[in-house]
Copies of this chain bind each other. A is one copy, B any other.
């Protein structure tokens, strides 16, 4: 949908055809969705967490200390980030004795990383 369908070639939102305003308003994302989206993406917005997520993408399930070793991070740092990833429901934790095994929560996680990598590699 292009702007010219609605407006003369002037700025100021006040001059936009009411139809256009309605068109946009109908499609505006609810504030709640925007919030959720930004929280989702902010989970991906850190190198540490990306390393963790990528490791879990390569090997389905890993414990905290494996993640720490593979990502070259302290156990503490990994654990803190895992909590955040858990809260945002990007990873799933499974306890087995003393060990806690983590895995990606759903396929959206790998999809987002794949598309992101595609974009990043193009530039």
A residues neighboring B (CB under 8 Å):
1-3, 6, 11-14, 16, 20, 23-24, 27-29, 31, 33-38, 40-42, 44-47, 50-51, 54-55, 58-63, 65-66, 68-70, 89, 99, 106, 108, 111-113, 115-123
Contacts and interface: CB of A to CB of B under 8 A. Distances in A.
A31 B50 CA distance: 10
Interface of chain A, main secondary structure: helix
Given A2-B61, A65-B13, A123-B89, A40 B116 contact: yes
* This chain: copies in complex: 2
Contacts of A65: 11-13
Nearest to A15: B66
Contact of A59 (B1, B63, B99): B1
